Amino acid sequence: MTDPRPGSWWRDAVIYQVYPRSFADSDGDGVGDIDGIRARLGHLSALGVDAIWMSPWYPSPMADAGYDVADFRDIDPAFGTLAKAEALIAEAHAAGIRTIVDIVPNHVSSEHVWFKKALADPRAPERELFWFHPGRGENGDEMPTDWVGEFGGTTWTRTTNPDGTPGDWYLHLFTPEQPDLNWDHPRVRAEFEDILRFWFDRGVDGIRIDSAALLFKDRALPPVVEGERHPFHDLDEVHEVYRAWRRVSEGYPDRALIGEVWMPEVERFANYLRPDELHAAFNFDFLGCAWDAALMRACIDRTLDAHRAVGAPATWVLSNHDVTRHVTRYGRTTTTFSFENNLDGTPVDLELGTRRARAAALLSLSLPGATYVYQGEELGLWENENIPVERMQDPMYARRGHSRDGCRVPLPWSGDEPPFGFSTTQPWLPQPPEWKDRTVQAQTGDPSSMLELYRSAIAARKAEPGLHGPDFAWLDAGAGVLAYRRGPQFACVLNLSPEAVELPAHQSVLLPSSQLEGTLLPPDSAVWLRLAT
Ligand code: NOJ
């Protein structure tokens, strides 16, 4: 594979998230798999992405769609085999596409061999690898803390002793099937460093780190008190782990560590990106930002300032497998996203959402740093809000009344009706029949389609010298309009106001997200311009 700037690909890559279960099904069981990804690499090449990140594909009871990992060194039979994963990595490389795997260090599956041993025998050494704790109250029948889990709900489950009596409790920040690991234990640290090497040795170019800020817990188990240090979010000890991981990654050429770090304080977020820690982290501030010029501009400034301070590249993320798809978000009256403020079922104007999503694509693909594309966003897919409760699989639904299944629906590839070429049978989650206009086949060659917009934008980004490197400057623009220059000759203008606005002086139009009205940029649109020198 040729790389013009070895050693820094992750700084300005376009990284496509593959959700293996929903990408393409090769064996007709309704669930996507590795052979499905291999068969569809052509789509990713045509899109022009630099790398793919696969959500977990390891053996798992699937209590949390694979984020409950039973064995980090193998592949779940539903997805294929290790040999198939290796073949995918090699074939992607041959197509010029790097690969990133998803590692989940905060917890394992309750079916992981360590936890099974720990549960079977309270004296087993594996007990120390988790958070077993006696309960409170006279008979120990109250949980050790009242901590609320990351999905909502409680965080402790009581065990039963071998003699049948009630035993200790164990901690799980997510579901009971995802016991938290004890990162104070050297065996846990050694194990994960070895897992990193396992995948780096198989040629993967990066690691996405799940729940990266949650690993350490305050041993005193204090309550969560507003304004005080949180007992399990962002404890300082975590940085030592990522320094060690960085050292592991540097034993290989061009490997990147990318953290899932949800953090309201941008300075604390940036701590994860210091030069000896992670290479990049997902920008959820941007993802959750309202469709509003002033707020968006403030978010971009905040992001660039925080990353500049630590010399890390920013990332631009609009969607992923956990959040409401942005076509839907941007079509609502409230365009922000947060797990706490559930907007499910509130009115959506999909036409408006799509129009804004097109503009957002040009925004996210022209800001300095790396851009993430979640599978299906290049097709303009919206959230499926009509999944019957009995078909929902997300464990968050029972705890928080919000299901992430709606953004995880299998991709529509071709044809006029479900399963739209995804499979030969009914997919694991239902696809909206209205997606017949959003298949890859239907959009290919249609210049007005979302897919062709993404293809053109990614190709133009590659070819545009101004879009590589950190150069960025705001241009004067009216209220409700964002305009910036990248390099001497490239500009992006985004109109978030309700009126069409005059374009700034330019030499030519490179790419508009919607039809220009002469020299006017309509509302909820963006355009890439070539500036005169
Ligand atoms: C974040 C992942 O993105 C999400 O899907 C998962 O449920 C949690 N971490 C727990 O692993």
Count how many Cα atoms sit within 13 Å of the Cα of residue 235 in the half-sphere of its side chain.
Answer: 16
Give yes or no for a cis peptide into 179 (omega within 30° of 0).
Answer: no
The CB-based long-range contact list for 340-346 (8 Å cut-off, 24+ gap) reads 342/400, 342/401, 342/402, 344/385, 344/401, 344/402, 344/403, 344/406, 345/385
Please choose from 108, 211, 258, 284 the residue to mutate so as to test ligand 1's pocket, defined by most ligand atoms within 8 A of CB. Answer: 211
8 Å CB contact between 116 and 127: no
Residue nearest to atom 4 of ligand 1 (CA): 322
Pocket of ligand 1 (CB under 6 A): 64, 67, 104, 174, 210-211, 260, 321-322
CA of 67 to the centre of ligand 1 (A): 6
| Smallest CA separation from ligand 1 atom 2, residue | 210
Q: What is the 3-class SS of 50-101, one letter each residue?
A: CEEEECCCCCCCCCCCCCCCCCCCCCCCCCCCHHHHHHHHHHHHHCCCEEEE
Mutational test site, ligand 1, from 64, 155, 209, 402, max ligand atoms within 8 Å of CB:
64
pLDDT given at position 6: 52
CA-nearest residue for atom 6, ligand 1, is 67
Cα(211) to centroid(ligand 1), Å: 7
Closest approach atom of ligand 1 to CA 211: 9
Of all protein residues, the one whose alpha carbon is nearest to atom 10 of ligand 1 is 67
CA 61 to centroid of ligand 1, rounded, Å: 15
CA of 415 to the centre of ligand 1 (A): 32
pLDDT for 1: 40
The strand pair at 256-259 and 280-281 is best described as parallel
Nearest CA to 376 out of 314, 316, 326, 341 is that of 326
Q: What is the pLDDT along the chain (533 residues), one digit of tens a residue?
A: 434 345 699 999 999 999 999 999 999 999 999 999 999 999 999 999 999 999 999 999 999 999 999 999 999 999 999 999 999 999 999 999 999 999 999 999 999 999 999 999 999 999 999 999 999 999 999 999 999 999 999 999 999 999 999 999 999 999 999 999 999 999 999 999 999 999 999 999 999 999 999 999 999 999 999 999 999 999 999 999 999 999 999 999 999 999 999 998 999 999 999 999 999 999 999 999 999 999 999 999 999 999 999 999 999 999 999 999 999 999 999 999 999 888 999 999 999 999 999 999 999 999 999 999 999 999 999 999 999 999 999 999 999 999 999 999 999 999 999 999 999 999 999 999 999 999 999 999 999 999 999 999 999 999 999 999 899 999 999 999 999 999 999 999 999 999 999 999 999 999 999 999 999 999 999 999 999 98
Kindly give the distance from the C-alpha atom of residue 284 to the centroid of ligand 1, in angstroms, as a whole number.
14
Q: Three-class SS string for 131-145?
A: CEECCECCCCCECCC
237 Cα–ligand 1 center, Å: 21
**Which atom of ligand 1 is nearest to 174's Cα?**
10
Atom of ligand 1 at shortest range from CA of 106: 11
Q: Does residue 502 contact residue 516 with C-beta atoms inside 8 Å?
A: no
* Inter-residue contact 500 to 517 (CB < 8 Å): yes
How much distance in Å is there from the Cα of 210 to the middle of ligand 1? Answer: 6
CA–CA separation, 436 vs 289, rounded Å? 30
- Determine which residue's CA is closest to atom 11 belonging to ligand 1: 67
Judge contact between 52 and 58, C-beta under 8 A.
Answer: no
324 Cα to the center of ligand 1, angstroms: 14
What pLDDT score was predicted for residue 220? Answer: 98
Query: Which pLDDT does position 257 carry in this prediction?
Result: 98
Ligand 1 pocket test, candidate residues 107, 174, 321, most atoms within 8 A of CB: 174
Report which protein residue has its CA nearest ligand 1's atom 5: 322
Task: Give the residue, out of 68, 322, 394, with the most ligand 1 atoms within 8 A of its beta carbon, to mutate for a pocket test.
Answer: 322
Residue 2: predicted pLDDT:
39
pLDDT at site 53: 98
450-483 burial: b if 16+ Cβ within 10 Å, else e: bbebbbbbbebbeebebbbeeebeeeebeebbbb
- Active site residue ranges: 210, 260
- C-beta of residue 492 within 8 angstroms of C-beta of residue 529: yes
Q: How far is the CA of 150 from the centre of ligand 1 (A)?
A: 9
C-alpha of residue 75 to centroid of ligand 1, in Å: 18
Return d(Cα 374, Cα 362) in angstroms, integer.
Answer: 15
Helical (H) or strand (E) element with 170: strand 166-171
CA gyration radius for the chain?
23
Substitution site in 210, 214, 287, 374 for ligand 1 pocket (most atoms within 8 Å of beta carbon): 210
Domains of the chain and CATH, by start: 9-105+186-453 (3.20.20.80), 113-171 (3.90.400.10), 471-530 (2.60.40.1180)
